[in-house]
């Protein structure tokens, strides 16, 4: 066989293999559609601190069977019913492995997605997000405020739900996260945190120019009470909020029925 004939035979033999590989990645193929859908889901996770909801999984183009498969394969981890955090494999698709790292922002975002648009981080969680908490170290719990409009069983730790009125003027945003403002956070903590922990937070807010000197003085000179789950202390930023129904005691009223169902630990 001449060299030219040998080269022609080699091209004929290798041709189908190259064509098959290109066909598997062609536009419109199942594999290309799966990759594109996972990329869309990963980008949604980037915008939400590494968290996604069941609805967002479907909106990205992935069906129920694929969702179940991603959970079984460890690409998504159930945090609450209908809320997932991404694992390392999907975080790498997003190009940001940090999305798979546990942290306060991710836990607060998962709780926010589970509780709904009227919820926001409050108390110790809001203080840590604002950078007011130096110690003790974060223990994994998340404090979230929702409207006190009903009764239901509380979710299991680390999520702590507080039924209290938080008006629009008392909330702010930190990326995708909703949380109480610095002033409202300090007002809430003035009656919920030991003074030994509260004073350093006020001083940190003043050093960071998050509150004025007058506000810091008012917080430090106000009577300090520690009552588990009590409502916000009187503060100009919260005077328009109606009183929480069913409060009036040492504990927060139960949160609305059906707001959240924690994912069972056995599941």
pLDDT at 243 over 50: no
pLDDT at 151: 52
pLDDT at 54: 94
DSSP assignment of 76-90, as one string?
A: EEEEETTEEEE-HHH
pLDDT at 238: 37
For 258-264, what is the mean pLDDT? 39
The reported pTM is 0.71
Residues in a beta bridge with 142: 159
pLDDT tens for each residue of 54-111? 999 999 988 899 999 999 989 999 999 899 999 888 888 888 888 888 899 999 999 9
pLDDT at 149: 73
The helix (run of H) or strand (run of E) holding residue 112 is: helix 104-115
Using an 8 Å Cβ cutoff, are 169 and 240 in contact?
yes
DSSP assignment of 193-230, as one string?
A: S-HHHHHHHHHHHHHTTSS-HHHHHHHHHS-----TT-
Using an 8 Å Cβ cutoff, are 241 and 170 in contact?
yes
CA nearest neighbour of 179 among 245, 237, 112, 230: 112
């Amino acid at each position: 066989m001449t060299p030219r004939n040998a080269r022609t035979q080699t091209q004929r033999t290798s041709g189908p293999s190259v064509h098959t590989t290109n066909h598997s990645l062609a536009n419109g193929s199942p594999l290309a559609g799966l990759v594109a859908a996972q990329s869309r889901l990963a980008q949604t996770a980037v915008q939400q601190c590494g968290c996604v909801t069941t609805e967002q999984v479907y909106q990205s183009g992935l069906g129920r069977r694929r969702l179940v498969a991603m959970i079984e394969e460890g690409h998504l981890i159930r945090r609450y019913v209908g809320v997932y955090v991404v694992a390392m494999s999907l975080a790498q698709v997003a190009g940001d492995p940090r999305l798979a790292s546990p942290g306060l922002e991710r836990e607060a975002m998962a709780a926010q997605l589970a509780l709904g648009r009227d919820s926001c981080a409050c108390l110790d969680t809001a203080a840590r997000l604002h950078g007011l908490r130096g110690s003790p170290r974060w223990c994994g719990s998340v404090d979230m405020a929702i409207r006190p409009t009903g009764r239901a069983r509380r979710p299991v730790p680390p999520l702590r739900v507080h039924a209290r009125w938080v008006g629009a003027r008392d909330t702010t945003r930190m990326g995708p996260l909703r949380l109480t403002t610095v002033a409202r956070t300090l007002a809430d903590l003035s009656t919920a945190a030991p003074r030994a922990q509260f004073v350093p937070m006020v001083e940190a807010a003043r050093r960071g120019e998050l509150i004025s000197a007058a506000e810091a003085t008012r917080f430090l000179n106000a009577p300090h009470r520690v009552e588990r789950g009590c409502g916000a202390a009187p503060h100009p930023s919260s005077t328009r909020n109606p009183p929480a129904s069913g409060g009036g005691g040492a504990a927060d009223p139960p949160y609305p029925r059906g707001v959240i169902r924690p994912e069972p630990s056995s599941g």
